[in-house]
Amino acid sequence: MSSQPQIASHTEAIDLLDHYLASGNAAMLAPYIRAMSDDNAVAVFAIMQGSGNEMAPFVRLLGLLGVRGLIDATEALDYIRRDRNRAS
């Protein structure tokens, strides 16, 4: 059994995103990003970082959730907007 956190449903994804927005603690996202990243995702993140276009952890997580069909693009954009409003 894996000790890394798993997100298996839309409800779990929304709960995690809401918890992040409430706390603002991006470090809490790292275990989820690691657990959800396959070799392709790791390569994409490395290319983005190497090109000077590194994605914030929250954006990485949104992308991973979207690829797995746990959130849709409209929800991802709404969370990006809410994160920006929270940070300002």
Q: What is the pLDDT of residues 6-62, one digit of tens each?
A: 899 999 999 999 999 999 999 999 999 999 989 988 888 888 888 887 788 999 999
Residue 1 has pLDDT above 60, yes or no: no
Buried residues in 55-84 as b, exposed as e (16+ CB within 10 A): eebbebbbbbbeeeebbeeebbeebeeebe
Could you tell me the pLDDT band of residue 3, with boundaries at 50, 70 and 90?
low
